[in-house]
Structure formats: C-alpha cells, structure tokens
Amino acid sequence: MDIQMPELDGIEATKMIRSGKSGALDPATPIVALTAHAMKGDRERYLACGMNGYITKPIDTIQLEASLETLLSPPNPKTKNPPEVPPDAPPESRAARPNPHPPVDFPAFVARLMGDELLAEKIYSSFRADLPVQLEILARAVQQGNVQAIQHQAHKMKGTSGNVCAHALHRTMAEMETAAREADMAQVEELFRQAMQQQEVIGRFEKPT
C-alpha cells in the first residue's frame, strides 16, 4: 500500500479496508506500507492503522520477496494475528551502499530485477527517453513557482530514478521535494540546475557490457 497517494493516502485506505466498509473481499488481507520515507515512529504509525509492516522505496526485490514469504506463509494455528513483516533495515546498515559514480548503477539495477538484463535494458531505455519530458514538466513548475507541482513532480521523479539506481538524480529529487515542501525556491532552482546536469550525464552514459 503506497503511503503517499492523491485524494486518499495509504493510512486512510488501510483504515477503510480494516473497517470492512471499503468493499474489499477480505478486510483482514495483509497490507504492507510502501513509502519513500523511513522516519522514526513511522513503523509504529503504520502498524497502529492496521498494516502488517513496511518497506521503503526504491523497492528491493529481495526484501519484497522475504516480506511476501512472511505474510503468505501458512499461519500458526496458535497465532490469531497475521505475521508482521520485519521493518526495513536502515540505509546505513545495508550491504550495498549507493555509489555516486557512474550516474546509473546498472549492475545493482539488474540485481534488483533478479538478474533479468533484457528487462533492465528495456526499463532503462524507457527511463532515459522519458527523462527530458519529465524535466520539462518540472521546469514549467519551477518557472511558475508552483511549489505543490514541484513537490509532486520531484516525488514522481525521485521514484523513477531510484527504481533504475540513478542514485545522484534520486538524491537531487529527494532534496528538491523537501525544498518545495518548505517553499525554498532558491534551493529548488539550484537543485533543478543540478538535475539538468545529471540528465546530460545520464544521456551520455553507456551501460557496462
């Protein structure tokens, strides 16, 4: 369950499902929070609303598989509640630390897709082709000083760049989302310049053979 969604966020959606008033076939179906944030107290907040655990973006397929195995394993007859997914490990404890060079960590991206290089190439090609379009949308929002539109677009681009392991661009978009939330347009404009430079680097980047 994505936490940040338009109109109805993940917490409210979960409460509706658990209440039995949402029309869901099984109000007790396991729900795992999917969030770009891993702030102190988030896990407790998600569990309190009825979720069974959480994982952070960008999605780690190994962690996702482990979470699904935990939730979908046969229940212990002595346990009434569904199993809880172990919380996501904090970034500093992960074995694979993001490397800022090259602009896209293609081996890590392939590993995230369980070694499917053809799928990785297809997704990456689509990402690179779409990047100028997404930056143009962001540019219009920056020119208009529309902090809500900037925050929305930066959040979207943070997700897509994180998915393909474009770590530098992912960090820039995360910082821009925060700057827009704080209405710091000077910082937004500086980060936008960085994003444009990062696009040029990504455009020249050739994946390792």
For the ranges 14-28, 71-85, 100-114, 145-159, the lowest mean pLDDT is seen at: 71-85
| CATH code reported for the domain at 10-93 | 3.40.50.2300
Sign of CA dihedral 90, 159, 40, 51: negative
pLDDT (0 to 100) of residue 99: 42
Higher pLDDT, 40 or 27: 27
CATH of range 106-204; options 1.10.420.10, 3.40.47.10, 3.30.10.20, 1.20.120.160: 1.20.120.160
pLDDT (0 to 100) of residue 78: 53
The predicted model gives 134-148 an average pLDDT of 97
The vertex-179 CA angle with 129 and 168, nearest 5°, equals: 40
Per-residue pLDDT reduced to its tens digit, 181-190: 999 999 999 9
Percentage of the chain modeled with pLDDT above 70: 81
On the CB side of 39, CA atoms within 13 Å amount to 7
pLDDT band at 90 (very low <50, low <70, confident <90, very high): very low
The predicted model gives 114-131 an average pLDDT of 93
For the ranges 80-84, 115-119, 138-142, 159-163, the lowest mean pLDDT is seen at: 80-84
Same fold, 10-93 and 106-204: no
Domain boundaries, the chain: 10-93, 106-204
Q: 181 in the Ramachandran plot: left (φ > 0), alpha (ψ -120 to 50) or beta?
A: alpha
Average pLDDT over the chain reads 82
List of E strands, the chain: 32-35, 53-56
pLDDT (0 to 100) of residue 75: 57
